[in-house]
């Protein structure tokens, strides 16, 4: 039983870390779509709130770029680092 739980946790962790072709995580996609409950669920499985895609953008950058401003305070409250710069050297609030 313990092994099944460990295997299950490992499978969920792999799913949480999965990225699309642009390097976006499930958390990034959920944040841009304003899916707060999904973001909470992903955070419960220890997703990286500061993960960067192939352009160096974090969930904060993407929410700023896509106009999903209501998610920014939520992401910051969950521990996101606002000083992370993307490959253009811009932080989320400079995007």
Rounded to two decimals, the pTM is: 0.86
Burial of 91 (0-12, 13-18, 19+ CB in 10 A): middle
- Bridge partner list, 19: 25
pLDDT tens readout for residues 68-88 = 999 999 999 999 999 999 999
Which mean pLDDT values do the consecutive 10-residue runs of the chain (95 residues) have?
52 77 96 96 92 98 98 98 98 94
Sorted by where each starts, the structural domains of the chain and their CATH numbers stand as: 2-20+27-94 (1.25.40.20)
Q: What pLDDT, on the 0 to 100 scale, is given for residue 72? A: 99
- Please say whether the beta carbons of 31 and 59 come within 8 A: yes
């Amino acid at each position: 039983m313990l092994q099944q739980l460990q295997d299950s946790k490992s499978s969920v962790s792999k799913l949480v870390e999965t990225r699309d072709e642009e390097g976006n995580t499930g958390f990034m996609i959920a944040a841009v779509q304003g899916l707060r409950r999904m973001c909470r669920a992903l955070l419960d499985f220890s997703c990286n709130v500061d993960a960067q895609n192939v352009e160096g953008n974090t969930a904060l950058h993407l929410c700023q770029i896509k106009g999903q401003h209501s998610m920014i305070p939520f992401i910051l409250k969950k521990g996101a680092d606002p000083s992370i710069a993307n490959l253009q050297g811009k932080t989320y609030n400079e995007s």
